[in-house]
Structure 1
């Protein structure tokens, strides 16, 4: 299909965890899609044999001879097969005629990476336009993981906690299809929807059963906006809001001291007119920032017993004994991941440190510890902010401990980029893995 004189082809990305009902939803969509639209389907499965593609192909052969199915197997289009994914959709656009492309991503795919593949591939971006990113959620499984805190043994195949995958798939989408709602009670459904809206307050949420959804809300709708979706996750909204409040406080302080109203954090000030308190998105949030490291033993104990009212937490940590690297903290449900984010500027050679600081004149810098800091954001419902802050403060090094030899501490936290620390409170077990 030549697109030289036509508009880009809209792309619907259908994501969701294993067993959420993506294939059932896709088959229902194809069966009930308008006959005026020719739909191409790309199905990705992690197995060597693409079972989902076979199921879709069988369905569309029976219902719609105009639908073509292309499969990518034995890998994930958001990582190992990303290049092949780009080549395949370009080839589709140049060799076949169709009006809409629907991509059913594997259950382990990160929709953000799938979307970026379309944007990064210049040829793909020429032929296609991301139209909507849809995440299908198994309401019963989501309730078990995020509301009931029940033990769920399924893993994603690459050591990523299931709760983290579920959270990421909800956080990067513009439409959530809450499927299998018939398997939970009305009160449980209210709790599930509340958590979903906390994770991604800007997405539309549709309740469905057995994958039955109106095709008009899934294809050619023009809903996707990269900037909105990229920054729409609840924890990002909360962090941005708290940062704005900090910047405004700093600006007021500068004004009161006769600094002419100059805002030293002007890199944050361009897009904050639309920000609202996180409570308006149905969540409670807490920003926790300190310029003192955590004691590794006490932090391990805290992460092993995270308060039940916390649904999601993300951010950077400074842990004593790990002075070289900033550590990512990624908490979803009952599961915590800690890995290496990158090097603190304070641990760089002097010439690199100088250029780094010159490029970031607003960077907070301590004369002794440089840019090392703790910067975390927590979201949940009715968070006990005082209790959480106090318990985290108890994990910090004391004044006396600041003068100790930190290398003597028992320290399970990653010291290399290839390592990550994973804890699942359901099975009360820590595990250090090499990635």
Structure 2
């Protein structure tokens, strides 16, 4: 790469559990000859996605090129966290050819794009494109709002009021900022659901967008890298609910970390997590689980009642511990009630 050229950055955004980390793993495994760097931003103080990606590090994206920023939205902590981290990545001994940024599932992408106009970095870096991921089955079912029918009924009753929920605003802002939308987990949705998801996204998009269905994050990198969108110079075409605001808050959401002993029954734990979604409106659960008698750690990823678990690698020198990060809207977070469900279902008190 020409040392005077701008380093392209791809911003990967999307709702909780849409598959952002899976997509980045695929890109790391298929770098197209590019040396990559990755910045992962998670909501909450305990990182999981960064650890997953570091397990995929190789010569084209070594572990030192993977940086995790936890416990703070990067678009809310630009000066303290984002700018210094980007500068550190650009100053690596081997300059990266391309930087991937995975935002948290609750992030609004437009404030982040504005950060690329900061004097410290604007002459050295550019936003190649914004990729928004949307879970096909979830979007088709309208899960980005607690009850879409009720919201629409309230809006129809009083047009002067904005009854949209924080979840729908996050979804809409991410779509509005995108250059390409990926409908993920397409294998879990039938043709009718895929069509419904497309229609929902097209209804929210401020302009015509490519919408591509993908499975397990598999997509030709040439379709989403090298877009040359210079998104930081195209903000007017990317409207946001928060345009005109000096900042935005994430007080609508909260996170709690649940520590448990070793688990005897992994299936019971997965059922407990699904129960949390049903009974306490929990949006997202992710973390690592120590299963009694198993040398491998179990990675758990849940979106609503859909729970996936797999043994990813030996614990090694890492202390065996079960630690789960639980995310929900602020009024739904009750740490004692969450822990009670997990403890009772897993018979670990």
| TM-score category (smaller protein) | 0.5 to 0.7
Residue 148 and residue 118 in structure 1: after superposition, are their counterparts in 2 closer, same or farther (change >3 A)? closer
Q: Say whether 1:206 aligns with 2:212.
A: yes
Partner of 2:200: 195
Once the two structures are superposed, what CA deviation does each residue of 1:37-84 show, in whole Å capped at 9, x if it has no partner? 100111111222221110011112498548720111111111145541
Partner of 1:166: 171
**CA positional deviation for 1:113:** 1.0
Q: Structure 1 CA distance, aligned partners of 2:226 and 2:63?
A: 17
1:33 to 28, 31, 52: 31
Q: Structure 1 CA distance, aligned partners of 2:201 and 2:183?
A: 9
Q: Are 1:24 and 1:211, in contact at CA under 8 Å, matched by a contact in 2?
A: yes
Partner of 1:58: 55
Partner of 2:248: none
Partner of 2:131: 134
Q: Are 2:10 and 2:225, in contact at CA under 8 Å, matched by a contact in 1?
A: yes
- Classify the secondary structure of the residue corresponding to 1:70: strand
Q: Are 2:8 and 2:126, in contact at CA under 8 Å, matched by a contact in 1?
A: yes
Q: Structure 1 CA distance, aligned partners of 2:195 and 2:230?
A: 26
Q: Are 2:43 and 2:73, in contact at CA under 8 Å, matched by a contact in 1?
A: yes
Q: Structure 2 CA distance, aligned partners of 1:149 and 1:72?
A: 29
Residue 83 and residue 218 in structure 1: after superposition, are their counterparts in 2 closer, same or farther (change >3 A)? farther
Partner of 1:307: none
Q: Structure 1 CA distance, aligned partners of 2:60 and 2:88?
A: 25
Q: Are 2:10 and 2:129, in contact at CA under 8 Å, matched by a contact in 1?
A: yes
1:230 to 226, 232, 236: 236
Once the two structures are superposed, what CA deviation does each residue of 1:330-361 show, in whole Å capped at 9, x if it has no partner? xxxxxxxxxxxxxxxxxxxxxxxxxxxxxxxx
Q: Are 1:145 and 1:163, in contact at CA under 8 Å, matched by a contact in 2?
A: no
TM-score normalised per structure 2: 0.58
Q: Structure 2 CA distance, aligned partners of 1:164 and 1:194?
A: 17
Radius of gyration: which is bigger?
1
Unpaired runs of at least 5, structure 1: 153-158, 237-313, 316-435
Residue 197 and residue 224 in structure 1: after superposition, are their counterparts in 2 closer, same or farther (change >3 A)? farther
Q: Are 1:147 and 1:191, in contact at CA under 8 Å, matched by a contact in 2?
A: no
Q: Structure 1 CA distance, aligned partners of 2:228 and 2:40?
A: 22
The CA RMSD over aligned residues, in Å, is: 3.2
Q: Structure 2 CA distance, aligned partners of 1:86 and 1:141?
A: 34
Q: Are 2:78 and 2:115, in contact at CA under 8 Å, matched by a contact in 1?
A: no
Q: Mapping of 1:270-281 within 5 angstroms?
A: none
Partner of 1:183: 188
TM-score normalised per structure 1: 0.47
**CA positional deviation for 1:203:** 2.2
Residue 108 and residue 45 in structure 1: after superposition, are their counterparts in 2 closer, same or farther (change >3 A)? same
Q: Structure 2 CA distance, aligned partners of 1:80 and 1:58?
A: 27
Q: Structure 2 CA distance, aligned partners of 1:40 and 1:24?
A: 16
Partner of 1:386: none
Which segment is superposed worse, 141-150 or 170-179? 141-150
Q: Structure 1 CA distance, aligned partners of 2:79 and 2:226?
A: 24
Q: Structure 1 CA distance, aligned partners of 2:144 and 2:169?
A: 14
- Classify the secondary structure of the residue corresponding to 1:125: coil
**CA positional deviation for 1:188:** 2.1
Q: Structure 2 CA distance, aligned partners of 1:87 and 1:147?
A: 33
**CA positional deviation for 1:149:** 7.9
Partner of 1:16: 14
- Classify the secondary structure of the residue corresponding to 1:122: coil
Residue 76 and residue 43 in structure 1: after superposition, are their counterparts in 2 closer, same or farther (change >3 A)? same
